[in-house]
Amino acid sequence: MKLPLLAGGVLLSCIFTAQAGPLVYQPVNPSFGGSPLNGSYLLNNAQAQNKIKDPDITARVQRSDLDRFTDSLQSRLLSQLLADVGSDNTGSLVTDDFSINIVDDGNGGLNVQIMDLTTGEMTAISVNGLIPD
């Protein structure tokens, strides 16, 4: 009989001495104010769940110096063609991938026609209100 009474007294004393404190949110991610020590743990967990693997670097196609030179030359010619439009000159440029035709209509309008030679798509850009020199 003493044991149940003693257990009840201990239980009652625990109930009355227990106090609640305020709940405080502590972020885990260091980007949002959490401990900086959690960064590597979170990164390792994210990488472990990542199912996408990087492609083999050696399998990537390396561009040759000639390809880079060709692209640079095409860019330069296109830049020169667009700069000549300001001097009332028109012209065209044809490469392996596209064809550009620039026509000044003489009334302050400029028509640029771009054709993708690989797909056959055509884009036309018309600009009005250009002030001739």
Confidence class of residue 121 from pLDDT cuts 50, 70 and 90? Answer: very high
Strand pairing report for 110-116 and 98-104: antiparallel
Q: Domain map of the chain by residue range?
A: 89-133
Query: In this model, does residue 40 exceed pLDDT 80?
Result: yes
Positive/negative CA dihedral, 12, 14, 17, 19? negative
The structure's pTM equals 0.45
Strand, coil or helix: what is 64?
Answer: coil
Query: In this model, does residue 3 exceed pLDDT 80?
Result: no
Query: In this model, does residue 41 exceed pLDDT 80?
Result: yes
Residue 101 gets which letter from DSSP?
E
Which tens digits make up the pLDDT trace of 106-118? 777 778 888 988 8
Q: Answer with the residue of higher pLDDT: 31 or 2.
A: 31
What stretches of the chain show up as alpha helix (H) in DSSP? Answer: 2-17, 39-49, 65-85
Q: Are 82 and 101 in contact (CB under 8 A)?
A: no
